[in-house]
Amino acid sequence: MRQTVISELLRMDHRRSTETSESRTALQGQITALQGQVTALQTQVATLQGQQGQQGLAGDPTQPELPKEAGGSA
């Protein structure tokens, strides 16, 4: 009887260990995927910032400059 209980406990422990390992692997995969998404978003942000910088140098054609008299004090 005692040996049966020990065997059952060992079997349950092994199953729990396997499930933990599988969960850890799945979570690591999700983390890797999220890191890839973050990298892609950082690239998009850098691209947009670069475009804004270029527009700032070239002037934004969608925002015409105000006439000097409407611009406030000189």
pLDDT tens-digit series, residues 5-51: 999 999 999 999 999 999 999 999 999 999 999 999 999 999 999 99
Alpha helices in 1-74 (DSSP H): 2-58
Measured between alpha carbons, how far is 74 from 58 in angstroms, rounded to an integer? 23
- On whether residue 39 sits in a domain, the answer given is yes
Q: How far apart are CA 22 and CA 28, in angstroms?
A: 10
Residue scoring higher pLDDT (47 or 53): 47
Tally the domains of the chain: 1
> Is position 12 within any domain?
yes
The reported pTM is 0.59
Residue 3 inside a domain? The answer is yes
Whole-number pLDDT of residue 60? 55
- The whole-angstrom separation of Cα 15 and Cα 26 is 16
- Mean pLDDT to the nearest integer, 44-68: 76
Provide the domain limits for residue 33.
1-46
**Within a domain: residue 38?**
yes
Higher pLDDT, 68 or 50: 50
Evaluate whether residue 10 is within a structural domain: yes
